[in-house]
Structure 1
């Protein structure tokens, strides 16, 4: 097939995407008691018209105590499901874009203020704060209230909550589910030796530290039959002695054997001691390492802003797809502009067809 690789279709399980552009999950901190609001309808509706191949709903808590902030979206009861259904119905009236949801539990990084009010930790008993949980009773910041170490019963509750949320995602007709095991949230906390200090079957060795993540994955894979199940990971903690790319590759290989459909490689978020060498495409080498060691479809993310840059990542085989986050908030028509620049094609709503530039007469697929 000729043309830019970025605009060639790709298939995961039974889900076919028209191009290799994924809209990454981006928290809006604008829900009420876990329920989506009109803001989410406007936000997701705008991104659904972008021409991207897949739209991912922001980190969606599987339990109230798993929210990063009191403004996080949830999917843990009939009320949160109904609110998400209303938003999805509105989005689907305007677009046939494929939609995924990222299921998450923030662990020790939960109970925080929204970013525009400082984002600091809110201790139990504080206004809109609650007791956090984690693999071990070690706080993210030394000034934070200590989380409660999960026992087996607590871990079972969390695993069951992921399963229940995945069932709700299927009932909502969502096309894919992603498990959030990155950015220092609960599943990542079990993986990293910096946050997991357990001395039972879920701590210590790499095999033990991966155990809970794999149990959650297996349980979700068993109930979500309508589409792909992917996992988002942090390729490294960027801290000596922490989670690193070698361990990430080992996890990816095990996930592949258990039926994982794709892996989205990000980094960092677990420790305030992280030292990240931020630069354009700085996480692409992490994605490349996973790509070279597995046959899993790999999503690369992180300061991917240029059209030629994005095309090179997929054309060179560093990753199979690229994910956009802040870039597409700044430019919600980035896929249109990339297609025009590279000679690709995108879908656009009928109401917008007449805006096609005369210099790019074949930009829109009709």
Structure 2
């Protein structure tokens, strides 16, 4: 490969939903090997969501000590849901590092926090009291001065598991305040978490939902943005129009100085539901990807406003659960294999 080709080579990776569906260490190790074999450089573990807080947390009293054990799997006795221990997460980070695949843990806030909020309210009297100050409904309250310190404490449980210079994902997607043109509370919150991670010698990555076009100058530009959707795939046409009015495009983020990972919802999302894996749909997807997608295509099937900047540094294919526990771990591995093969060949 020539030096010019190496300079333009884009990073590739996998985003794995560990919240709607639990994946064991063994299964995740298999995905890490798959990423490595495909020439990929990272795997992001979406550990928390509305469905599950999928990793051990002393802050939330979800610990291996309090858990029910079944083999190497830990289950929260109250929620009955499985989670990874910190030791297991660290082992995955080391496993990936040895194979030049960065394992990126994601603790998703302030939205997609239903499972986090539930643990906070039920884990202790102190946490129940704190929940009244740092939550609003099933989200975190960014108007509260206590919210950012609470989340920093939460992130602090995992920063020591990572290698210096690696990334931690802080979420930022699909929360109720994302329809406001200006979001000073979100800007302050985002920068606070980023600077906390930076002081721990780590880098920050987040979803594009948490960024408004009008606020770009105020947000720390060293945050890596994972861009999945311009409008959030909302069913309401008015919301779609509003989002496209106030949110930045991927090229606009690059122009403003942000690096991006293209996670185009249309081409790069695999949702583990039966329709996805019909033979005709699999063949259509593979052909569509090969003929119509490249790393510059970021907005569904739009081929006009392409992301040509060198700051658009790569892409990520995602495997998302359907929330219905339709398939076992081994079935997901088998059924998603054709998609991963096609993507990493692209």
Q: TM-score, normalised by structure 1?
A: 0.55
Partner of 2:292: 309
Partner of 1:290: 253
Partner of 2:100: 96
Task: Tell me the secondary structure at the aligned position of residue 208 of structure 2.
Answer: strand
Partner of 1:241: none
Q: Deviations over 1:167-186 (max 9, x none)?
A: 2243x5683222211122xx
Partner of 2:195: 218
Q: CA RMSD in A?
A: 4.8
In structure 2, C-alpha distance between the alignment counterparts of 1:297 and 1:320, rounded to whole Å:
6
Q: What does 1:1-366 correspond to in 2, within 5 Å?
A: 8=6, 19-29=10-20, 39-50=24-35, 51-60=38-47, 68-70=50-52, 72-74=54-56, 80-90=85-95, 95-105=99-109, 109-111=113-115, 133=131, 138-139=136-137, 151-162=144-155, 164-165=156-157, 167-170=159-162, 175-184=166-175, 192=178, 206-225=183-202, 228-234=203-209, 248-255=212-219, 258=220, 260-267=222-229, 286-291=249-254, 293-301=255-263, 302-305=265-268, 306-311=289-294, 313=296, 317=308, 319-326=312-319, 330-332=335-337, 334=339, 336-338=341-343, 340=345
Contact 1:134 1:147 survives alignment (8 Å): no
Unaligned 5+ segments in structure 2 are 65-84, 241-246, 269-288, 298-305, 321-331
In structure 2, C-alpha distance between the alignment counterparts of 1:339 and 1:173, rounded to whole Å:
27
Q: TM-score, normalised by structure 2?
A: 0.57
Partner of 1:240: none
Higher helix share: 2
Contact 2:225 2:259 survives alignment (8 Å): yes
Question: 1:325: how far off?
Answer: 0.7
In structure 2, C-alpha distance between the alignment counterparts of 1:154 and 1:261, rounded to whole Å:
20
In structure 2, C-alpha distance between the alignment counterparts of 1:58 and 1:275, rounded to whole Å:
32
CA distance 1:72–1:297, shift in 2 (3 Å): same
